[in-house]
């Protein structure tokens, strides 16, 4: 199960461990996935602990879009 992406379930040679710390400020990858999917993400939850670069960018974009929408909604 380690060789597949947690989000798209595809096989990839280059995967990122979602529990490794990301450089810089901001939410962790598990927090972004949980915000987007509405499901908690825990280490050892029997799901893949890796994400492919494409899905990682998609998760980051989705998270940023959600934050932007929340800010707009709160200021409207």
5 is in an annotated binding site: yes
Rounded to 10°, the helix 29-37/53-75 angle is: 60
Q: Give 36's DSSP letter.
A: H
Distance of CA 75 to the CA centre of its chain: 26
8 is in an annotated binding site: yes
* Binding-site residue ranges for Zn(2+): 5, 8, 52, 55
Residues in the annotated binding site: 5, 8, 52, 55
């Amino acid at each position: 199960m380690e060789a597949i992406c947690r989000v798209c379930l595809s096989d990839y040679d280059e995967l990122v461990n979602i529990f490794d710390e990301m450089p810089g400020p901001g939410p962790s990858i598990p927090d972004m996935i949980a915000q987007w999917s509405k499901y908690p993400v825990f280490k050892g939850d029997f799901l893949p602990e890796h994400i492919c670069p494409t899905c990682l960018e998609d998760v980051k974009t989705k998270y940023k879009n959600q934050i932007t929408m929340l800010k707009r909604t709160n200021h409207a």
